[in-house]
Amino acid sequence: MAVFDLSLHQLHQYQGVNPRPADFDTYWARTLDEVGALGVSYELEPEAFPAPGVRCDHLYFTGLGGARIHGKLLRPERIEGRLPAVCVFHGYHHFCGSWFERLPFVYSGMVVLALDTRGQGGCSEDVSCGGDTETLYGQILRGTSCTDPEALLYRSIYADCVQAVRILKSMPFVDEARIGLTGNSQGGGLSVACAALEPVQRIAVIYPFLSDFKRVWEMDLCNASNAYRQFWWHFRKKDPFHQREDELWERLGYIDIQHHAPHIQAKVLWFTGMMDQICPPSTQFAAYNKISSEKEMRILPDYGHEMDMFPFVDDLIYRFLREL
């Protein structure tokens, strides 16, 4: 097996290098209190998508800061009792996807909510930039220059995910004891953070993003893609002598999914490509190794950050979540 990161033996022992803030738990407890105060109100707008036996709706709710958050809700037209449900989170810069790609779960008798992340390729607002829906770059660092750590944009994004799952659980046709989360890259990271902040039963993730930020910097991978290039620009333009570097990693520790991972209670299925230079294996193991619930990692030795090329993964995730 080709190796550009740590050896597999080392990866299984690796615990990450990005610091965890001392008040991490109280920070997120305050955030969850804010989410709780927002309640589970939502609006539905029907979409006339030609899928026989399936009802499709645009779902909207108000998140932290008054942002209007959008998702796509799909469910069988005829429902008896309560159904299991899946919440889908998308990759960085992307959007919640097409109605078509969510149909397999619905035709197997499940409810699906696919969420648009704030300010990315979908319709959810980024109120930190005047309500714009296309503030694609620099989102990881958004809020790190503020004195208040609660200004972090990803704090609000994680809160949106929690609120979406709580809304899903509140629906009269959803069995709140059979909830699954899934996503790749950023969507995988959001699944990990959300499962730690709001109890669910299963999560299926592919090479999660948003883990062990300092490790990516130390590996000199910040120019490998747009995902982490903002770190490179930050130091060049705002902190060229790295006088505040420790402060930056500490602040990002609030949204580092490796620090959320110990709180996960769900059953976990995790896919990792050993040649991934965007979300390096060590950053993924930093989070995975801290999960104490039932878990399995499927390793693809010859693959990188290439969702379309991961063989059979969709089938495996489908089977895993169908067991809810």
Catalytic residue among 5, 116, 126, 276: 276
The reply to whether 305 belongs to the active site is yes
The reply to whether 185 belongs to the active site is yes
Catalytic residue among 128, 156, 185, 191: 185
The 3 state secondary structure assigned to the chain is: CCCCCCCHHHHHHCCCCCCCCCCHHHHHHHHHHHHHHHCCCCEEEECCCCCCCEEEEEEEEECHHHCEEEEEEEEECCCCCCEEEEEEECCCCCCCCCCHHHHHHHHCCCEEEEECCCCCCCCCCEHHHCCECCCCCCCCCCCCCCCCHHHCHHHHHHHHHHHHHHHHHHCCCEEEEEEEEEEECHHHHHHHHHHHHCCCCEEEEECCCCCCHHHHHHCCCCCCCCCCHHHHHHHHHCCCCCCCHHHHHHHHHHHCHHHHHHHCCCEEEEEEECCCCCCCHHHHHHHHCCCCCCEEEEEECCCCCCHHHCCCHHHHHHHHHHCC
Catalytic residue among 70, 90, 263, 305: 305
The reply to whether 132 belongs to the active site is no
- Catalytic residue list: 185, 276, 305
